[in-house]
Every structure is written in C-alpha cells, then in structure tokens.
Structure 1
Amino acid sequence: MLASETPFTVNEIEALHDLFKKISSTIVDDGLIHKEEFQLALFSNSSKQNLFSDRVFDLFDVKHNGVIEFGEFVRSLSVFHPNASEADKITSGKTLLSVAFRLYDLRQTGYIEHVELKEMVQAILSELDSTLTDVTVESIVNKTMIEADLNGDGRIDPEEWKVFVAKNPSLLKNMTLPYLKEMTAAFPSFVLRSDTEDDINK
C-alpha cells in the first residue's frame, strides 16, 4: 500500500491518482506517463527538448523503461513531501540531497563536473526563459565550483555536495513542494473511490 510506504495520506494518494490519470491521458491514453506527457505537465510544452526535464523524467522512471507507472510517480514525488522525514529519506536513499546530486550528475559517474553543472544551469535558465550571457553563466558555474570543490580536483563529489548544500540550504528548500501536503484541500473533488483501490495497491 503506497500510503504505508510514503508520507502521503490515502486522500493525497487519491488526489495523485486523479492527477496521474489526467497526465497519462494527455497524449496516449494508456495509463502510463510518457516523456512528452511528463514534459507537457511540467512545462506546458511536449516538444521542446530540454536537458532538465529529461533528467527529472529519468529520476521518476525508476525502472528505466521509458514510461512512469503510478507507483513510480507517487514514490518519486514522496521525497518532495513536507512531511517526509529526513530519516525516511536517508533509509530509502531518496533524500532531496541525493536526488539533487543525481539531477546534476548527468553522466552518472558519481561526480558533478564543470561541464555538467554548466549544462544544467543553461537548461534550467532555458526553462525559465531567462537569457543570461554565456559569460555570466560561466561566472556562476566557476563561482559554484570554487565554493563546492573543496579538494580542488575539478569535480564535486557527494560529500562536497553535502557541505555545499549545508551552506546553501535554499537549494533544497526550493525542491520541497508544500502544496503536496494540501493536495486534497486544493482539489476538494478528490474523494475515496473504490474503483481506484486496485490501482493504488499496485
């Protein structure tokens, strides 16, 4: 039961199930979220290729089969829930810290390198329709690398990332989604329905 595995209440899971059904039927109505549907839900654009949205999709697609199933959707979102305890996140290996690190570790080497950091900053700015010059982006990336790369080897390892985030807590604060806690308040029409019980127990 997803309610026992995540910080979500049964009502919140019901709300997520309704949301999942809406997202998974926007392009292909097959009960699965495809990358284009995911991108459309996040950024109102299904065709614009973006590294950031690709990386977020990959983190949700736990089975790496090109689609997001309901269980993956809920479990992946749970790390962003305000009620998710740090102990639970550490036990599951899905802390905001580790999710953020994996987001930037584009080549999955266990390190964040200068080029990866720059590519992600550019991708995020692109999603925000921000137009900073390459010189400004390079300056931001260089400053971050100087501050985060404590041993000076030209890359950020998980321990250095942990120290960097501790000094810059807003990085993770921005990744918590308070509205998840208010899911049923935001969508009062979401109520317990027996016809979705089987889907929720998957």
Structure 2
Amino acid sequence: MPLVSRQSFLVQMKSRLMSSCCVNHKLIREKDKALLASQTYFSEDEVEALFELFRKLSSSLVDDGLISKEEFQLGLFGNSRKQTLLANRLFQLFDSKRDGAIDFQEFVRALSVFHPKAAQTEKAAFSFQLYDIWETGFIQRKEVKELFLALLDESDLILTDETVEAIVDKTFNEADSKGDGKIDEEEWEHFTTQYPSLLQSVTLPYLLDVRTVYPSFTTV
C-alpha cells in the first residue's frame, strides 16, 4: 500500500475508532458507575474522575477504549518498550480477564486495592499474587529474589550481590514460618502484619483526592 493512501487509511480508521470508543466509554460509565462504586472504595464521583485517567492512558497509543500492555508500560515508566518483570506482573494482575488488555472495570477494581482505605488483607493478597510469579499458589525463594531485583532496578539503590542474597534469605526465612521451603498466602499475610512497610507500594495516597487530580468528569 502506497504511503499516502496508507496514511489516509490510518486517519479514517482512527476517526472511526474515536467515534465508536467515545460511545462505548459513555455506555460503560453510565451503566457501571454505581456498580463499581458499590464494589470498590471509590464513590460514584471518583469513578467518574478515574475515567479521565483511564481515557488518557487508553488513548496514549491507540484510542480503542482499552489499555494495552504498551500503554500500561508507558503510563508507568514513560516508555512503552521498557520490558520489566514488575510491569509484566502488574499488567497481569490488572488484566483479570487475561485477554491482553485492561478495560475500565478492571482498571477501577484493581486501583481500589491501592486505595488508602483498602483493607490490609486485600493489599496483602494483591502483593502475594505479585510475588507469586509462577502462579503456583506459593512464593518460592527464587521469586522473592527476582521481584526484589526488579524493584531494585526501578530505584537508584545499588547493592552488592552478597547484600541482595542476605536480604532475600532474611525475608524468605522469616516469612516461611512453617519451614517447608515455600510461603503460602496465610504466612505472607502474617508476615506483612509484622512488616507493614512491605505494603507501602500497594497504597497510592493521591487516590484519596482523585477528584482533584482528575476533575474533568466529576459531578456537581
């Protein structure tokens, strides 16, 4: 296909997608706003405000009313091509339907866990899933190390291999209270009550005031 006609085709397709996605977004918001508010820690006004954030993320690369993995990574790191274990795991947890994209309902429900008012048990369960990389229902030492290295990679902190091993060993041994070489969800929840700082990354303070951050769709 020649460049000019291909550009014209893409412009037409983008116009059609924008028309259809605006209608779809409206239907989603009107139909599910009350339901999402009843199932999460957000009010109906806050669900409306979150729609502005969702709209920006879901249209950052392709305006199709869904957040793709690349758009998710772009929102997290400002780079749609940056492949990291952390980004992959978070995307998988947000994409509860496992269909390769995040819709508005999935987005709001997942963000609810990050709400400061969300129960610690919910945050612990989410972080357990995050560490359970191989999805076996248990956290193994290698998974703790892999995610710790992924988190370290996102920070400016540089640690020696010996320090990393010592931290991983201490964390795993303390969490594995049954001493069976793996951490189950009950052990992990108990461990996070002893060390609540582990759940700080599963709390986003700005969600308490989301209508101020994304006010475009709030009601009067």
TM-score, normalization by structure 2: 0.79
Structure 1 residue aligned with 2:207: 180
Q: Is the 8 A contact 1:3 1:10 kept in 2?
A: yes
Q: Deviations over 1:160-186 (max 9, x none)?
A: 112211110111233211210101123
2:130 match: 103
User: For the Cα contact (< 8 Å) 1:23–1:38, is it kept in 2?
Assistant: yes
Give 5+ residue unaligned stretches, structure 2. Answer: 1-34
Aligned length: 186
Contact map agreement 2:73 2:79 (CA 8 A) in 1: yes
SS of structure 1 residue aligned to 2:189: helix
Q: Which residue of 1 aligns with 2:102?
A: 68
CA contact under 8 A between 2:69 and 2:101: conserved in structure 1? yes
Q: Residues 122-201 of structure 1: matches in 2 within 5 Å?
A: 122-192=149-219
Between the two proteins, what is the percent identity of the paired residues? 54
RMSD over equivalenced CA pairs, Å: 1.7
CA shift digits 1:43-88 (9 cap, x unpaired): 212111100110010000010000000000001111111233x3xx
Partner of 1:114: 141
Structure 1 residues 119 and 176 mapped into 2: Cα distance closer, same or farther (>3 Å)? Answer: same
Deviations along 1:124-183, whole A, 9 cap, x unmatched?
Answer: 111224332222211110111121111222211112112211110111233211210101
Q: Which protein has the larger Cα radius of gyration, Structure 1 or Structure 2? A: 2
> What's the counterpart of residue 54 of structure 2?
20
Structure 2 CA distance, aligned partners of 1:128 and 1:37? 21
Q: Which residue of 112, 126, 131 corresponds with 1:78? A: 112
3-state SS, counterpart of residue 181 of structure 1: helix
Query: C-alpha separation between the residues in 2 aligned to 1:76 and 1:187?
Result: 18
- Asked whether the equivalents of residues 62 and 72 of structure 1 are also in contact (C-alpha less than 8 Å), the reply is yes
- Does the 8 Å CA contact 1:6/1:75 hold for their aligned counterparts? yes
1:2 aligns with 2:73: no
- 3-state DSSP of counterpart to 1:54: helix
Q: After TM superposition, give the deviation of residue 10 of structure 1 in Å.
A: 1.7
Q: Which has the higher contact order (CA 8 A, sep 6+)?
A: 1
Structure having the larger proportion of residues in helix: 2
Please state how far the C-alpha of 1:188 moved relative to its aligned partner.
3.9
